[in-house]
Each structure stands twice: as C-alpha cells, then as structure tokens.
Structure 1
Amino acid sequence: MKKRLWVIYGMLTLATATWGSAFIAGKFAVQSFEPATVAFLRFFGAAILLFPLMWVMEKDRKKPTLKDHGLFVLLGLTGIALYNICFFLATKHAPVIKSSLFIASNPVLIVLLSGLFLKEKITRNSIIGMAIALTGVVFIITEGHILTLFQYGFEPIDFVLLGAVVSWAIYSVVGKVVLKKFSSVESTTYAVAYGTLFLLPFALAETSWLDVQEASLTTWAAIAHMSIFVTVVSFVMYYNGIKEVGAAKASIFINVMPVSAVIMATIFLGETFTLAHGIGAGFVLTGVYAGTNPNLFKRKLKGNIVKNKTA
C-alpha cells in the first residue's frame, strides 16, 4: 500500500510539474493567437485525443445521466473555461507577482472546501505542509524580496484573480464527487469537451482564418504540447491522484508548478535561476513531503515519549 502511495505521489508531482511547462509553451503560442484562442485550441486538440482514449480504455463505461452531465458542465465551466479566461486575463493585466501568488493560494481554498463539502479530514500535517510550501512559492515569486508584496494595493483585476482561484477549487472538489462514479479518463474527457464548447465563442470572436494560416510552426508545436502533455496526460494523472488520496492532499502538489516553471524558464527562455529560487524550491519540496507523510510528526512525538520513559 505504501509503495502504491508513492507511485500516486510521483504521478501528482509529474502532473503538476508538467503544468509548469504551460507557462513556457503559452509564451510561444500567444505570439500568433490571443489567449482565449490558445486555450480553445489547446482543449480542442485534447478533446480529439481524449475521446478515442476513453473509448479504448473504458469499455464498460457507464452512461452519464442528466445530473452527471450537469456536473460535467460545471467541471468544464470552472476548471477549463473560467479558470483559463481568468488566468490569461490576469497575466495580461496584473503584475506577475500578484497573479502568481493568487494562483498559489489554490491549495488553501481546496482544503477548506474539501473539509466543508466532502467532509475530508484536514490533518495537522496537511496544514503545516501547505504553509511551508506556500512560503516557498512566495519566495520564488518575489525572488526573496517578500516585502514587495505590500507594494500592490487592491485593484479591480483582483476579482478576476479571485475568480481563477475559486474556479479551480470548485473544479477539484466537484471532480472528487464525479470520480465516485466515473474514471479519471472519463471525467477529464467530458470536462474538456464542455470546457471547449464554452471557449469556442471567445475564439471565434477574436481570431480570423488568416490568423490560423499565418501561425508559426513553433506556435502549433506549443499548442500540441499543451494539448497532449499538459492537458491529456497531466489532467488524467491529477484526477487519478484526487481519486486515490483526496482533493485536499492532491492540492498540495500544485505548489510544484511554479518550481518547474522557474526551472524550465531558466532552460528554455534563458532566465536566471537565483539563490531565492533554490531556497523557495527547497521549501516547496519540504512542504509537499510534510503534507503527504502522516507519520512525520507522530514518529517524533513517539520517540520523545519513549525517551522520557527510559529516563
């Protein structure tokens, strides 16, 4: 069981680390298309791949009821459409420090909603691990200059950022409900399908056929990467992780995303990897380990009790 748990944790780490590459691929893709169009093309490509995958892997799949389709619509609206629209709007109009910090607060809201609506147990380890990981994320985002956070006051774009955080939290929590009946492949496929439909009007409004024809090979490669690896492979792994360990614990791994984004930006975009990035990454990995190891603090406590008795 313990070995299986580490396989799940490995999948969650790989999934969220791959999400970090979306920031790099997105930089190339938006050179030819507007953000909502990039999101639509990404998920449209993913849907084309996911449906055959579902038909092959899920031979005995259940037929969704009207209520099930309602949940899939909610997943597509929140995690695919609204989250991406809010996220891309924020990257365009908000400082990177502020938008990154808002997104990094996702695990906190997911844990709270999981406790309220799914009755998931919020453990001391989860809270400590989340706090340590979030500290690391703040260190990475601010490059060690934490006081810069206080330079930014309240702005209307903060509502958009809050929308992104709430959308992803709802997506993760509702996903746990859907996964009681459907597999991770089925859940991802239906969510992506509905999300793509929601994104279609935005793509049609801002993109012409000429834009499609003039898009570079690099743009299409970036979109293909986001469709295949960032969406199909990673979303299925993330949902499988939620099914196995719960939304609250799986959410801790979201903190891996900014670490991988910084490392990939250093490799592919020539950005500088600073000491602050290294310290922040250390905090994140420590936080994830603390949050997913239920015996970490118990073991220490037990050791102290034994020591006291022998004394």
Structure 2
Amino acid sequence: MRAPSLNLALSMTLVGLSVPASKVVVAYVPPLLTAELRFAMVALLLAPLALRGGRGSLPASARDWTSLSLLALFGMVLFNLFLLYGLRATSAVAAGIITSTIPAMTALSAALILRERVSGGSMAAIALAVLGMAALNLRPGGGGGPDDTLAGNALVVGAVVSEALYGVFTRRLGGRVPPLTLTFLANALAAVMMAPGALATSGGFDPALVPGWVWVLFVASGLASGLVAVVLWMRGIAHVPASRAGLFTGLIPAAGVLAAVLFLGEEFTLAHAAGLLCVLLGIVLGTGALRWPGFTGGRSGRGGRAGSRGR
C-alpha cells in the first residue's frame, strides 16, 4: 500500500479506536463539552507550530477560507451534533447501517462538487465496502425495532453527509495549506462554533468529580483522533481522489469493533468477520493495490485528480 493510502488507513483506524474511549469519557463529561475541550486542546497544542510560518502558511484566498470554514462546520461540529443526538432517537443498529453509506456518499459528493470521475470498478469497490460495513453492524436478532425513529435516522443521515463533505473539502484544500496549519485552523474554528452548545449543555458539570484516569484517556484519545488522525488524513487525501479516499472510512467501524472486543469484552461473531473481510477487500480493490484484466478501480484516480484541478 502506497504512503498516501497508508496515511488514510492509519487515520481512520485511529478514529475507530477512539470510539470505545469516547464512550467511557462521555459517561463522565457532557458530550458537547467533550468535543469542545478536544477541539480547544488540539488547537492550543498546534498553535506554535502552525503559526511559525506567519501569514504565508495561511489560506491565500477567500475560496480556501470558505472551504476551511465548511470543513470545520460539517466534518467536526455538525458531524458530532447529528451523530450524538441521532443516537438518542434511534437504535445503534439502525445508525450503524446508515453510517455504512459514508463511502458512497463521499463518492457522490466528490462527483457533484469536485467533478471527480467514478469508474465502474470504483463503484464496485464502494459497494463491497458498504456491504462489509453493513454486515459488520447487523447482528443476529438485530434490525428495526421500537427504538428506531424517522427523526433519529434523519439525524444520522445528516452525520453521513457531514462526513462525506469533510472528505471533499479536505481534498479541495489539499496541498495548498500545510497539514499542521490546516488542522490547527479547523480545530480553532470548530471550537468557536461548538462553544455555544457546549456552554448550554454543561450546566452543573464539576470537573473535580471526574476520575484522573478518565482525563488521561480523554487526552490520549483526543490527540489520537483529533490531531494525529487529522494530519494523516490531510496528508493522504492531498494525493488521493476523495471518491477513493472515502473507502477508508470503512476502517472506522472495523477498528471500533476490534477495540470493543479487545477492551470491552464484546462478542466477535461470524458476521463481524465477514464484514471485516469485505471492508478490507473493498479498500484493496478501490485503491488499486489489487488488479486484474478488465478491472479499472485502480485507474479512476487520474480522472478524479484531473477533474478536481478543473474546479
């Protein structure tokens, strides 16, 4: 696997591994306050490094600033809001099935916004990844139930669209703003945007009542998913079309399930194994790491990059 693809894979793996940690943290800290503190922590840590290049390292055009603001709004603020509140109104099974459509939504968004070409081979790889993620979230006895609501499912769909747009806007900015500067600015903007919601939902919260080990877990998971993963993603997507990069989001549920099995003692079923296999095979096919005559999944990148430069 080439370096850009490896960066994307590691990024999404870190995001997936942070899910069990986040479940523990939000049991002690209000969810929106957790997101606000993470955004602020990453921005403060990156500020000295990101700003040392002066104005020359900042976005040079109003179009880039607009893309950056939209990246922070959709990929950080709205994604967290939609997913957190969607899970309050629908089941985890329904939410998992819906979020399995992130690669397809990313490809569609890239085609509409960046005018990237999506070949038949790439669509086949996307379908395989979606199938794998669906299998990963479908368990015996699962399915629709009384906890599923149309409003909750609609909110989770909003999270899917937000994640897809995050991939599109990072692709649009890739190569024109240094990754560390881009990560700093995105987190700083997200912290400003999230502040009203965090303040409104943190009444009565006492940080002294939170165990020390929870704060350690918060810092570690926050840096892994909010700093390292973002930098790796931005480095990778600068060289990979957004439609193909979206396949790597399949590693989020895959890594999350593995972490739940290893650290939370949850059962690993045959359906989970089948889902993981489909997800990984979809990534291999979509990135062109495996080819055979007549399959064009690995060649779609040229058309995608050309399309994005024409915007």
**TM-score class normalised by the smaller sequence:** 0.7 to 0.9
Summarize the alignment of residues 218-229 of structure 1 with structure 2, pairs less than 5 Å apart.
218-229=213-224
User: Which residue in the other structure is 1:114 paired with?
Assistant: 110
Q: Which amino acid aligns with 1:141?
A: N
Greater gyration radius: 1
User: Which residue in the other structure is 2:8 paired with?
Assistant: 12
User: Which residue in the other structure is 1:291 paired with?
Assistant: 286
The structure 1 residue matched to 2:17, chosen from 13, 16, 21, is: 21
User: Which residue in the other structure is 1:160 paired with?
Assistant: 155
Q: How many residues align?
A: 296
Cα distance in 1 for residues equivalent to 2:53 and 2:164: 28
Summarize the alignment of residues 123-142 of structure 1 with structure 2, pairs less than 5 Å apart.
123-142=119-138
User: Which residue in the other structure is 1:253 paired with?
Assistant: 248
Summarize the alignment of residues 138-153 of structure 1 with structure 2, pairs less than 5 Å apart.
138-143=134-139, 148=143
Asked if 1 retains the 8 angstrom alpha-carbon contact of 2:96 and 2:137, the reply is yes
Asked if 1 retains the 8 angstrom alpha-carbon contact of 2:90 and 2:147, the reply is no
Instruction: Give the drift of 1:169.
Output: 1.5
Q: Which amino acid aligns with 1:248?
A: S
Instruction: Give the drift of 1:225.
Output: 2.0
Asked if 2 retains the 8 angstrom alpha-carbon contact of 1:28 and 1:218, the reply is no
Instruction: Give the drift of 1:47.
Output: 1.1
Work out whether 1:217 is the aligned partner of 2:212. yes
TM-score by length of 2: 0.87
Instruction: Give the drift of 1:212.
Output: 1.8
User: Which residue in the other structure is 1:307 paired with?
Assistant: none
Per mean C-alpha deviation after superposition, the further-off stretch among 257-266 and 273-282 is 273-282
The structure where helix makes up a greater share of residues is 1
Query: Structure 2: which 5+ residue stretches go unaligned?
Result: 297-311
Asked if 1 retains the 8 angstrom alpha-carbon contact of 2:98 and 2:160, the reply is yes
Instruction: Give the drift of 1:143.
Output: 2.5
Per mean C-alpha deviation after superposition, the further-off stretch among 9-18 and 260-269 is 9-18
Q: Which amino acid aligns with 2:184?
A: T
- CA deviations 1:73-95 (Å, max 9, x no partner) are 21111111111111111233321
Change (3 A) 1:10 1:144: farther
SS at match of 1:70: helix
Query: Structure 1: which 5+ residue stretches go unaligned?
Result: 302-311
Asked if 2 retains the 8 angstrom alpha-carbon contact of 1:176 and 1:246, the reply is yes
Cα distance in 2 for residues equivalent to 1:58 and 1:250: 31
TM-score by length of 1: 0.87
Cα distance in 2 for residues equivalent to 1:229 and 1:155: 33
Asked if 1 retains the 8 angstrom alpha-carbon contact of 2:90 and 2:149, the reply is no
SS at match of 2:286: helix
Asked if 2 retains the 8 angstrom alpha-carbon contact of 1:80 and 1:196, the reply is no
User: Which residue in the other structure is 1:104 paired with?
Assistant: 100
Percent identity, please.
Answer: 25
* Alignment RMSD (CA, Å): 2.5
SS at match of 1:31: coil
